[in-house]
């Protein structure tokens, strides 16, 4: 799976569209989501602006803003009542002033263009990385392994190659030091 660039850089021709969408998504994130969602929605908006041609070039800004937030929310189980934060799809769409069918339709476009799916390791919120099994699974010599159970040397190689976000053995060692 190719690494997704986490950047807010957009072409000059799409700058106005980007700013308009982000203004809406930042406001909704501040009121109903959190800063993590705001950042990832910005990254997704920028990624869509960089596509040639950009799907954001046509359509209503608030509908696109909702669709992008909806897609990132779906990846991170925003609509699951056991998650924090939690919103229903209808509540999210209402926050953007669009119908649920319009928000869902734009979210499908966003998911298709960016290749999003639930638990997508590249679009998983940082607070959810530890509980995302797809982040820690890797094929080694044709066998799927859970990298957190592998020796530190293997974790270090996986980290250096960009396969995992951090070395779990180091995290465990750091937390032990803080507890003593």
pLDDT score of 138? 87
Residue 178 has pLDDT above 80, yes or no: no
**Domain range annotation of the chain:** 12-126, 129-179
Range scoring the smallest mean pLDDT among 77-86, 91-100, 149-158: 149-158
Residue 153 has pLDDT above 70, yes or no: yes
Tokens in use for 29?
């994130």
CA distances from 106 to 86, 153, 167 (A): 20, 43, 36
CA distances from 68 to 72, 107, 163 (A): 6, 6, 25
- SS3 of 140, please? strand
Range scoring the smallest mean pLDDT among 2-6, 91-95, 128-132: 2-6
Supply the DSSP string of 65-119, one letter for each residue.
Answer: HHHHHHHHHHHTTTT-TTSSS---HHHHHHHHT--HHHHHHHHHHHHHHHT--TT
8-65, pLDDT tens digit by residue? 899 999 999 999 999 999 999 999 999 999 999 999 999 999 999 999 999 999 999 9
pLDDT score of 44? 97
Residue 92 has pLDDT above 90, yes or no: yes
CATH of domain 12-126: 1.10.472
96-125, pLDDT tens digit by residue? 999 999 999 999 999 999 999 999 999 999
User: pTM for this structure?
Assistant: 0.84
């Amino acid at each position: 799976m190719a690494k997704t660039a986490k950047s807010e850089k957009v072409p000059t021709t799409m700058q106005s569209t980007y700013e308009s969408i982000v203004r809406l998504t930042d406001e909704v994130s501040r009121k109903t989501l959190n800063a993590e969602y705001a950042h990832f929605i910005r990254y997704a908006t920028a990624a869509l602006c960089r596509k040639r041609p950009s799907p954001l070039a046509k359509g209503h800004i608030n509908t696109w803003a909702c669709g992008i937030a909806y897609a990132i929310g779906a990846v991170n189980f925003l609509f699951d009542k056991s998650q924090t934060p939690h919103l229903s799809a209808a509540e999210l769409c209402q926050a953007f002033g669009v119908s649920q069918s319009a928000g869902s339709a734009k979210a499908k476009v966003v998911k298709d263009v960016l290749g999003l799916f639930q638990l997508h390791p590249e679009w998983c919120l940082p607070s959810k990385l530890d509980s995302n099994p797809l982040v820690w699974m890797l094929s080694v010599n044709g066998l799927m392994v859970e990298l957190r159970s592998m020796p530190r040397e293997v974790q270090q190689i996986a980290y250096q190659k960009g396969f995992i976000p951090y070395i779990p053995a180091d995290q465990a060692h750091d937390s032990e030091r803080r507890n003593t």
